[in-house]
């Protein structure tokens, strides 16, 4: 038994240490840093208490960053979920070319966000991009997507949703194929069909996967999706497409304002903890897991 | 038990067995117009994803005047590779490739090794605090890069690893997702085989290397592919931890190329995007079933 304990420790130690050193320790240390003012260079950080937070929450542009994060995350997560369910059910029908469609849909998910960002930057080019062609079909001019503050947030949201959609579609498709057939036969005998069947049987059965895709979607898109923003708009013009993840980077590594950056990162951490709590608390109850 | 368990063949990507049942048989045959509508929907789906990718590749192979012409030139009037040579020469793409290959290769090997050791311990070794350790490791999935970015930068700077391969690779070797996939897979291994080996006097390390690892090979390969794609596409960490062009990886090279060429040379920029994307696309088309199967398995527990 003692030997087993030693062995267990030795086997998990490398991974556990790496996780503690590069995930938990920095997350905690970051909270501490948010009470200081620092620029990476000064010999020691200067204690300022809650000043970084009061500055953040009295600054109108931080409100916009939070709003942008909410819109970007909400639209991309809900958008990809609704479209993904639709496309997933479409692919699950027995018609030709669904295999090829699945491959094509998933391909963007494999690409680096930087490549997706630069591709959409070109497509959104109002003079030479596909956007000009698409708008010309309706006799309209393409907006200057990435360079005007009315459209910049939408340009990154669309690009990111496009990249994520294939993943969500394929997961929904797999889940739909795994639905228990006998329940559908029973429901058909009871005369249930169409929309009613979808609402009362398919949707509840898919609820765990919908829940999973929402939670992971929020974590990934709220906290990451940084590459697309960095390549397409750099958070601009102004702060019109800045999200929390962009702001953390910009404050820390372009403005060298470590206090503000770590306070913003702590706000992000708080949001993620709430989401984690929701997942742990409701993940197994609200959704249907039983067989 | 979840209703959404994936069968193990699909999980491991063993697609060479009997084809999966596609779709449900429900009710009478579909009328023809409905099938037509569905096929139209499938084609629309293909178009949404295919057109941008087609645009990427066709633009990379267009001569300059074809890109800056109106109406749009969908198919290049003549195919040219000059954008690729221009991209290659305007930034040190040979270094970017080398750096991407080193960080992805070494990083993946290290992460998968840690994942195997860790998953083996969780499945086959008894220990009191197993559950806490497990929660700690899986819980790290909730702490994405941007929360830890600043302090990891400070740590790496203090270690003197800024702008080095160690700094690029080591902070990313901890494994939660791949560990979880391997853990799930190893749990299905028949314990009797291991017991027999134990009676024959094989210790844990030998059992792991000679029995568990070979048996887990399909899932190890799947996890390796998924980890590899993630590392190749990694963006924010290489961006902050490297400071000279000769240490940049490919995705950062794209940012470099964009600021170099601006909006006036899309052909060259698209050629750069092809450099970055093509390895992942090839990998995906070769191992599609495995990658999708692995990600789906992670999603459905």
If you write DSSP's letter for every residue of A75-110 in order, what string do you get?
Answer: HHHHHHHHHHHHHHHHHTSS-TTHHHHHHHHHHHHH
Q: Which two tokens stand for residue B256?
A: 């470099």
User: What pLDDT, on the 0 to 100 scale, is given for residue A193?
Assistant: 73
A46 DSSP 8-state letter:
E
CA–CA gap between residue A133 and residue A121 (Å, rounded): 15
User: What pLDDT, on the 0 to 100 scale, is given for residue A63?
Assistant: 95
Contacts of A21 in chain B (CB under 8 A): 155
User: What pLDDT, on the 0 to 100 scale, is given for residue B21?
Assistant: 45
Look-up of token digits 């999708």: B292
User: What pLDDT, on the 0 to 100 scale, is given for residue B301?
Assistant: 59
**Contact between residue A247 and residue A263 where contact means Cβ atoms under 8 Å apart:** no
User: What pLDDT, on the 0 to 100 scale, is given for residue A284?
Assistant: 60
CA–CA gap between residue A284 and residue A267 (Å, rounded): 27
The end-to-end CA distance of chain A, in Å, is 37
User: Which candidate from A16, A100, A272 shows the least CB-CB separation from B133?
Assistant: A16
**Contact between residue A202 and residue A179 where contact means Cβ atoms under 8 Å apart:** yes
**Contact between residue A213 and residue A81 where contact means Cβ atoms under 8 Å apart:** yes
User: What pLDDT, on the 0 to 100 scale, is given for residue B297?
Assistant: 80
User: What pLDDT, on the 0 to 100 scale, is given for residue A1?
Assistant: 56
Rg of chain B in Å (alpha carbons): 24
Mean per-residue pLDDT for B136-155?
A: 91
Average pLDDT, chain A: 89
Contacts of A16 in chain B (CB under 8 A): 118, 133, 136-137
CA distances from A101 to A113, B119, B287 (A): 21, 35, 16
CA–CA gap between residue B189 and residue B216 (Å, rounded): 8
**β-pairing, A46-47 with A36-37?**
antiparallel
pLDDT grade, residue B19 (50/70/90)?
A: very low
Q: Which residues neighbour B279 within 8 Å (Cβ) at sequence distance 6 or greater?
A: B232
Q: Which two tokens stand for residue A78?
A: 């809900």
Using the predicted structure, report yes or no on whether residue A112 has a pLDDT greater than 90: yes
**Contact between residue B266 and residue A125 where contact means Cβ atoms under 8 Å apart:** yes
Provide the strand spans (E) within A73-181: none
B34 Cα to chain A: minimum distance (Å): 10
Mean per-residue pLDDT for A117-142?
A: 91
Q: B143 vs A11: CB contact, 8 Å cut-off?
A: no
Q: Does A118 touch chain B (CB under 8 A)?
A: yes
Listed residue (A125, A64, A117) closest to A230, CA to CA: A117
Q: B277 vs A96: CB contact, 8 Å cut-off?
A: no
Average pLDDT, chain B: 87
Listed residue (B216, B274, B211) closest to B11, CA to CA: B216
- Give the global pTM: 0.89
Mean per-residue pLDDT for A251-255?
A: 95
Size of interface A-B (CB pairs under 8 A): 324
Mean per-residue pLDDT for B249-278?
A: 90
User: What pLDDT, on the 0 to 100 scale, is given for residue B28?
Assistant: 56
CA–CA gap between residue A18 and residue B173 (Å, rounded): 7
pLDDT grade, residue A111 (50/70/90)?
A: very high
User: What pLDDT, on the 0 to 100 scale, is given for residue A9?
Assistant: 87
B143 DSSP 8-state letter:
S
Count of alpha carbons within 13 Å of A230, Cβ hemisphere only? 28
pLDDT grade, residue A189 (50/70/90)?
A: confident
Q: Does A254 touch chain B (CB under 8 A)?
A: no
Listed residue (B256, B115, B121, B231) closest to B177, CA to CA: B115
């Amino acid at each position: 038994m003692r030997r087993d304990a030693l062995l267990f420790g030795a086997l998990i130690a490398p991974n556990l240490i790496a996780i503690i050193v590069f995930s938990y320790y920095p997350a905690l240390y970051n909270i501490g840093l948010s009470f200081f003012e620092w620029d990476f260079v000064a010999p020691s950080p200067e204690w300022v208490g809650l000043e970084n937070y009061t500055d953040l929450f009295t600054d109108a542009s931080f409100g916009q960053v939070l709003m942008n994060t909410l819109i970007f995350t909400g639209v991309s997560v809900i958008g990809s979920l609704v479209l993904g369910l639709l496309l997933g059910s479409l692919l699950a029908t027995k018609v030709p070319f669904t295999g090829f469609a699945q491959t094509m849909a998933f391909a963007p998910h494999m690409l680096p966000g930087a490549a997706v960002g630069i591709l959409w930057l070109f497509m959104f080019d109002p003079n030479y991009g596909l956007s000009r062609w698409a708008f010309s079909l309706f006799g309209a001019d393409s907006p200057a997507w990435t360079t005007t503050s009315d459209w910049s947030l939408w340009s990154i949201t669309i690009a990111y949703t496009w990249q994520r959609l294939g993943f969500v579609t394929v997961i929904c498709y797999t889940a739909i194929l795994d639905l228990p057939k006998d329940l559908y036969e029973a429901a058909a005998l009871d005369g249930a069909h169409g929309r009613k069947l979808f609402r009362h049987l398919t949707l509840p059965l898919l609820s765990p996967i919908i829940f999973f895709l929402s939670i992971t979607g929020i974590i990934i898109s709220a906290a990451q999706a940084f590459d697309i923003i960095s390549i397409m708009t750099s958070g601009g013009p102004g702060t019109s497409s800045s999200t929390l993840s962009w702001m953390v980077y910009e404050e820390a590594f372009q403005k060298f304002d470590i206090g503000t950056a770590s306070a913003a990162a702590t706000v992000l951490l708080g949001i993620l903890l709430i989401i984690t709590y929701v997942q742990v608390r409701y993940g197994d109850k609200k959704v249907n897991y039983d067989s | 038990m979840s209703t959404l368990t994936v069968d193990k063949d699909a999980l491991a990507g063993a697609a060479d067995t009997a084809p999966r049942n596609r779709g449900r048989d429900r009710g009478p045959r579909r009328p023809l117009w409905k099938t037509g509508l569905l096929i139209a929907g499938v084609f629309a789906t293909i178009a949404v994803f295919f057109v941008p990718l087609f645009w990427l590749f066709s633009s990379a192979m267009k001569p300059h005047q074809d890109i800056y012409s109106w109406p749009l030139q969908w198919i290049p009037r003549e195919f040219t590779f000059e954008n690729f040579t221009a991209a290659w020469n305007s930034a040190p793409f040979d270094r970017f490739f080398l750096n991407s290959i080193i960080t992805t290769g070494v990083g993946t090997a290290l992460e998968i090794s840690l994942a195997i050791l860790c998953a083996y311990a969780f499945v086959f070794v008894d220990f009191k605090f197993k559950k806490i350790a497990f929660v700690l490791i899986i819980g790290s999935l909730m702490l994405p890069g941007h929360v830890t970015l600043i302090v990891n930068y400070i740590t790496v700077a203090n270690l003197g690893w800024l702008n080095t391969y160690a700094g690029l690779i080591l902070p990313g070797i901890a494994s939660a997702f791949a560990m979880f996939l391997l853990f799930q897979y190893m749990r299905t291994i028949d314990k009797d085989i291991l017991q027999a080996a134990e009676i024959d006097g094989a210790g844990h390390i030998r059992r792991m290397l000679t029995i568990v690892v070979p048996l887990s090979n399909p899932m190890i390969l799947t996890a390796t592919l998924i980890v590899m794609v993630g590392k190749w596409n990694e963006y924010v960490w290489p961006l902050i931890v490297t400071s000279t062009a000769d240490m940049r990886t490919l995705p950062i090279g794209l940012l470099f190329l964009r600021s170099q060429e601006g909006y006036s040379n899309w052909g060259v920029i698209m050629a750069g995007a092809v450099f970055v994307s093509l390895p992942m696309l090839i990998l995906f088309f070769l191992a599609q079933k495995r990658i999708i199967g692995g990600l789906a398995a992670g999603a459905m527990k």
